[in-house]
Amino acid sequence: MQDSLLIILKESSMKISVGGMIASGKSTLVKRLGESLNLPVLEEFEKDDEVFNTLLKWLYEQKNDVEMLLQIYFIHHHWLNQQKYNGHFIVDRDLVEHWLFAQHNLCKMPTIMNMYNGVFHAYMNQIKKPDLYIILDVDWDHFKVRVLSRGRKQEIDNFENNETYFRSLLKDYVTKISAQCAVYDIPYVVIQTSGKTEEEVYQESLNYIQNIKKSK
């Protein structure tokens, strides 16, 4: 199946987006698909992105007035990077997910959220829509284990203080991302990752990619 997928991808222009809650296995799947299908990968952020890492740290530490800066940086940085890609490529967390984070982080600033929605809509109309959006779901128990075991200091040190935020985000994740995909006419699938191995999630994703190509 993998060889046939490579042939299909070479013959067409295809954008695959992979999304999911923090610690859902998103980045692991993106890396695996990129390597096995020989697809260039648009990563969410570079590991050494000092601005991103600092803003994220401040958000988890619940510093004042960081939410707007973080969300604007997210969406603008992502939009700029997408301009560098054409043909077929895979995206680690696309714009519709940044919109969801903004919904939660800017909920107490309705004026700013309205402005953000306008920017988001404009950017969505300027980027290539995904041919398939793979949304990874995870339940709370698996989420907590994964977050605490992957060793990111800012997440571990601030987990208890952010538990309400994480629970709220997880509750909305699949429902609201699916709804946004419907609004922008983006084909999507949801894969439950709890209790599954990385290999199982990878194989399931390959099946969906092959099916979306057959339907075109």
Map out the domains of the chain as residue ranges. 2-214
What tokens appear for 99 in the block?
């919109």
In the structure encoding, which two tokens stand for residue 205, read together? 């994703």
Can you spell out the DSSP letters for 90-148?
EEES-HHHHHHHHHHHSTT-HHHHHHHHHHHHHHHTTSPPPSEEEEEE--HHHHHHHHH
C-alpha 28/C-alpha 16 separation (Å) is 15
User: Can you give the pTM of this predicted structure?
Assistant: 0.85
Flag whether pLDDT at 205 surpasses 90: yes
H or E stretch covering 18 = strand 15-20
- Residue 155: per-residue pLDDT: 80
Spatial separation of the C-alpha atoms in residues 203 and 29, rounded to whole Å: 10
Range name among 13-17, 66-70, 208-212 with the lowest pLDDT average:
66-70
User: What is the average pLDDT value for the chain, to the nearest integer?
Assistant: 85
DSSP string, 177-196: HHHHHHHTT--EEEEE-TT-
Q: What percent of the chain has pLDDT over 70?
A: 89
For the chain, give the number of residues.
216
pLDDT at 33 > cutoff 70: yes
The pLDDT tens digits of the residues spanning 98-125 come to 899 888 888 888 888 888 899 899 989 8
Q: What tens digit of pLDDT does each residue of 3-15 get?
A: 555 544 554 578 9
Q: What is the CATH number of domain 2-214?
A: 3.40.50.300
Check whether 192 has a pLDDT greater than 90.
Answer: yes
